[in-house]
Amino acid sequence: MCIFCDICEGKIPSKKVYEDDLVLAFDDINPVAPVHTLVVPKKHFDDIIDLSSNDDGTYLKACMNAVTKVCEEKKLEQGFRVINNCRENGAQSVMHVHFHIIGGLKLSEKML
């Protein structure tokens, strides 16, 4: 069972921001900034290594296209941050690859 697969299949509700055949973007349930949206491929990949190893580029490109769509929808033209947490040391808690889009404020240069 994968919570993000369930969200992509509509079994669990989400606040949808953008959707196409390959990708769903929805607001994070526990936002850390005024804008905190997750971009998720509809096909299950455990993490970014799985995605980059086992996708021919189709889903990765679709995710990056969705980043642009979320940027437009959320009016983030002044900038934002895209984060991928990978595996245990990267603090990944949901094992279905996703990209956090964080914005709506002036972010610090500090990464930690």
Our finding on whether 14 is near ligand AMP (CB under 6 A) is: yes
Determine, following the binding rule CB under 6 A, whether residue 28 of this chain makes contact with ligand AMP: yes
* 3-state class (DSSP) for residue 54: helix
Which C-beta is closer to ligand AMP: that of 65 or that of 92? 92
Per CB under 6 A, 19 contacts ligand AMP? no
Which residue type, as a one-letter code, is found at position 6? D
Residue 37 makes contact with ligand AMP by CB under 6 A: no
Give DSSP secondary structure letters for 1-20: --HHHHHHTTSS---EEEE-
Nearer to ligand AMP, 56 or 88 (CB): 88
The CA distances from residue 13 to 67, 74, 85, in Å, are: 21, 20, 23
Q: How far apart are the C-alpha atoms of 24 and 99, rounded to whole Å?
A: 11
Measured between alpha carbons, how far is 74 from 96 in angstroms, rounded to an integer? Answer: 23
Among positions 53-92, residues that touch ligand AMP (CB under 6 A) are: 85, 91-92
Least separation in angstroms between residue 72's CB and ligand AMP is 21
Does the active-site annotation cover 96? no
- Binding residues vs ligand AMP (CB under 6 A): 3, 12, 14, 28-30, 38, 85, 91-94
Q: Which residues are catalytic?
A: 98
